[in-house]
Amino acid sequence: MDAAAALANEIGLPNLTLALLAERLGVRSPSLYRHVNGLPELLHQLALRGVDGLAGAMAGTSGLPALANAYREYAVANPACYAASQRADPRLDEAATRALAPIFALIASYGIPDTGRVHAARIIRSALHGFVSLETTGGFGLPDKLDDTFALLISALETGLQSAPEHTRHQ
């Protein structure tokens, strides 16, 4: 799995094949089937690694800036596993619950009740995912510093969470 993740980081997840992985490992493709049941299973294992890695990165963070920076650092350092983890897959539900726990804890700290937490989680994930996806695929071509832009994004998210409409906050 380490070799698969490293190769996918180098060539991009969509370009990963069992043949390329076997070549990297110096074995024949059929040898890989002792470890994974084909490319779909390999991609699932990378997705699970990504969800668990993201959960681990965010675990124990306190506050939106720390959580967001941990999220970004993990995604930038592990683009293939991160990308693999960003699709809904019932087989990832347990791991995804662990990854979402720090986000839901953060949302609760803003006084947003259970009825608004899914919306808030989607907003946070969309903002962070959009930023790191553009960053890891070279989508930011303008010269301004990315760290400054990321800090502004976090500030905007924090302002939004703090000023959520009254009907979404605890009374």
Given a cut of 80, whether residue 166 has pLDDT beyond it is no
Buried b (16+ CB within 10 A) or exposed e, 138-164: eeeeeeeeeeeebeebbeebeeebeeb
Tens-digit pLDDT profile for residues 27-79 = 999 999 999 999 999 999 999 999 999 999 999 999 999 999 999 999 999 99
- This prediction's pTM: 0.88
Do the beta carbons of residue 71 and residue 56 sit within 8 Å? no
Q: What pLDDT was estimated at residue 70? A: 98
Given a cut of 60, whether residue 97 has pLDDT beyond it is yes
Q: Residue holding tokens 């832009």?
A: 149
Q: Say whether 163 sits in a helix, a strand or coil.
A: coil
Q: Which amino acid is at 24?
A: R
Protein fold of 47-168:
Tetracycline Repressor; domain 2 (1.10.357)
Q: What pLDDT was estimated at residue 164? A: 74
Q: What pLDDT was estimated at residue 154? A: 97
Tens-digit pLDDT profile for residues 67-90 = 999 999 999 999 999 999 988 788
Task: Work out the percent of the chain whose per-residue pLDDT is above 90.
Answer: 78
**Mean pLDDT of the chain, nearest integer:** 92
Q: What pLDDT was estimated at residue 143? A: 83
The CA distance from 36 to 21, in Å, is 12
> What is the arithmetic mean of pLDDT over 127-141?
94
What token pair was written down for 124? Answer: 């946070």
Residue 167 — very low, low, confident or very high, per pLDDT cuts 50/70/90?
very low
Give the 3-state DSSP-derived string for 65-95, with helices as H, strands as E and coil as C. Answer: HHHHHHHHHHHHHCHHHHHHCCCCCHHHHHH
